[in-house]
Amino acid sequence: VIVVLERGASGEEVRGILASLASLGLEAREISGGGRSLVHVVRGPTRRARKLLAHGRVVALVPTSGPRIRREGRRFYPYHFIGWCAAALVASGVLVLLAGVLPPGLGPSFDALDPPAPAAAPLPWYLLPARGLSRLLPDGLRWVGGLAVLLVLALLVALPFVDRAGRARWTGGLLALVLLGSALALGVIGAGA
């Protein structure tokens, strides 16, 4: 692992990082590259180096070894670019197939000046959770469905400002599970007749 320090890190700070690594049982040496100080962990269980991410001057850990790198070697962007091009070709083929097999339909025309009577609207799939929530509420509170969508959006916007903890936590996974689970459940209710 290479420990990347912020630009302008002093020699004392680098020595502090080396001492921290030594206390974790890791042998490391200072190297330089790109005009910044780097510390190369050369021996020891490199997983322990993750603790350094809590250090204010450490900006990143770049793995230089590990099972995947030993197996695959160090691959550069052009190598992956070929794989992505292949994936893009397959994706384009799937889209052409869908366009041919399931072409988008077109319903009967209507006169906007003399509109038809309100009927059940075919909502797109991403609006089904909001409709599902509305169905669970009494008539006077139907607007809560729309408000709930706005609240979830506000929560997602607020996350960078309220959750600033550096250590990995389980909150992300739990939040994803709760949002996905409730969206699926409400979507099923919203899709029902």
19/137 with CB nearer another protein? 137
25/69 with CB nearer another protein? 69
Chain length of the chain? 193
Shortest Å, Cβ 68 to another protein: 5
Shortest Å, Cβ 38 to another protein: 7
25/54 with CB nearer another protein? 54
Instruction: State the DSSP H helix or E strand holding residue 134, giving kind and residue range, or none if neither.
Output: helix 128-136
Angle at 34 between CA 31 and CA 36, to 5 degrees: 60
Q: In whole angstroms, what is the distance from residue 60 CA to residue 64 CA? A: 13
Residue for token pair 């599902």: 132
Q: In whole angstroms, what is the distance from residue 118 CA to residue 39 CA? A: 68
Shortest Å, Cβ 95 to another protein: 5
Residue for token pair 């384009």: 92
User: Which has the closest alpha carbon to 171: 156, 183, 186, 184?
Assistant: 156
23/92 with CB nearer another protein? 92
